[in-house]
Amino acid sequence: MTRIVAIDAGHGINTPGKRTPSGEREWSFNTVVAQSIINHLKNYQGVKTVRLDDSTGKRDVPLRERTNKANKANADILISCHHNANTGRWGNWTGTETYHYPKSTQGNRLAKTIHPYVLKAYGLRDRGIKSANFHMLRESKMPAILIEGGFMDSNIDIKKLRNKKVLENAGRNIAEGIAKYLGLKKKPSKQTGKLYKVQIGAYKQKKNADAQARRAKDKGFDQYIVKEKGLYKVQIGAFSKKSNADQLATKAKKAGFDVYIEGATKSTSKSKPKIKTLKVGQKVKIKSSAKKYATGETIPSWVKKKTHTIQQVTTTKVLLKEIFSWVKKSDIK
């Protein structure tokens, strides 16, 4: 059975009044948290999300429409993401609080589960779990909470709100709390088994990888950067099934990206024979494991300790100047 989570970023970008004393919009903070919850819930099995606000922020979806959507989708829970305001002028009030509908035991249980995760992400004062007769909590049929992450008009809290990492972290933590509440299991870990990684670029410089990731984002791809062997690789997906990786690769190619799938050809690099390039004049040593010269005589151990100069090279052996002996190429270090 698939569980459905209704996610709501409060207001719209142009909703009057919902802004910091500097003019930043509440929705622009709320949406980072909401989107991060959605992204992180993708790591869990058997769960779907329904977003209740306009994800572009342009339209302030009426509250009635939001709760209707959650009810119609038969959502199991509803999470509404907000940021608080006190006077609308800068002050030193601070803290995180989570609301549920008065006397809703399910809502209270949901709040109790999620609130500690929210607190941890913002690192602000704990203002506790509260109840209020808010539309989103009252008109939704499922357990619902409304989170006020911190105050938009707080000198203290605004530092957290302006840090995208804090907001994304809040979303990640909330997703974890949701998983706990609903008993969701994580999808098989990325470390186990072979994965077909769909990548659209590998860069020495992070800024180039960032730019490519942005292009992918603009075209609607999930994207993340993985650092491997000194390269920043832009990845748009990783799958245990090759057919799924191929499907995404085709989509990315159509969108104009050069795509390669990593993981599919893992073993080939290992089996390549080593080609030794030995040249006349080169200083070399003989491997300590070498036993006999190319001509059949035993190599004394003192010869193996010295450095020699190559005087002549054939396809299989080299002539070493100092000892005037032919040694097999495979015995040269």
Q: Catalytic annotation on 148?
A: yes
CB of 100 to Zn ion, least distance (A): 16
Tell me if 128 sits within 8 A of 75, measured CB to CB: no
If you search the block for the tokens 């020699």, which residue do you land on?
308
In the three-class reduction of DSSP (H, G, I as helix; E, B as strand; rest coil), residue 143 is classed as coil
Burial 300-318 (b: 16+ CB within 10 A, else e): eeebbeeebebeeeeeebb
Nearer CB in complex with Zn ion: 12/201: 12
The least CB distance from residue 256 to Zn ion, in Å, is 39
Nearer to Zn ion, 10 or 201 (CB): 10
Comparing CB distances to Zn ion, the nearer of 82 and 100 is 82
Which residue lies nearest Zn ion, judged by its C-beta? Answer: 82
Distances (CA, A) of 141 to 46, 64, 115, 136, 243: 21, 13, 21, 10, 40
> In terms of CB distance, is 57 or 201 closer to Zn ion?
57
DSSP bridge partners of 215: none
CB of 83 to Zn ion, least distance (A): 6
Nearer to Zn ion, 135 or 285 (CB): 135
């003989």: which residue's tokens?
Answer: 286
CA proximity to 245, closest of 200, 213, 202, 197:
197
Which range of residues in 31-39, 76-84, 93-101, 223-231 is near Zn ion by CB under 5 A? 76-84
Q: Which of 40, 66, 82, 160 binds Zn ion (CB under 5 A)?
A: 82
Q: Quote the least distance from Cβ 3 to Zn ion, whole Å.
A: 26
At which residue do the structure tokens 């990492």 appear?
165
Query: For Zn ion, which stretch binds (CB under 5 A), given 79-87, 133-141, 283-291, 305-313?
Result: 79-87
> Residues 97, 148, 168, 262: which is the catalytic one?
148
Q: Which residues of 148-179 are buried (b: 16+ CB within 10 A; e: fewer)?
A: bbbbbbbeebbebbeeeebbbbbbbbbbbbbb
DSSP category for residue 45: S
Closer by beta carbon to Zn ion, 10 or else 107: 10
Number of residues located near Zn ion, criterion CB under 5 A: 2
Give min distance, CB of 49 to Zn ion, in A: 20
Q: Which two tokens stand for residue 296?
A: 């059949």
**Helical spans, DSSP H, in 183-260:** 206-218, 242-254
148, 136 Cβ separation under 8 angstroms: no
**Binds Zn ion by CB under 5 A, chosen from 10, 150, 177, 201:** 10
Smallest gap, in angstroms, from Cβ of residue 27 to Zn ion? 8
Stretch that binds Zn ion, among 2-10, 31-39, 46-54, 287-295 (CB under 5 A): 2-10
Which span (7-15, 91-99, 192-200, 301-309) binds Zn ion, by CB under 5 A?
7-15
Q: Which residues bind Zn ion (CB under 5 A)?
A: 10, 82
As annotated, the active-site residues are 148
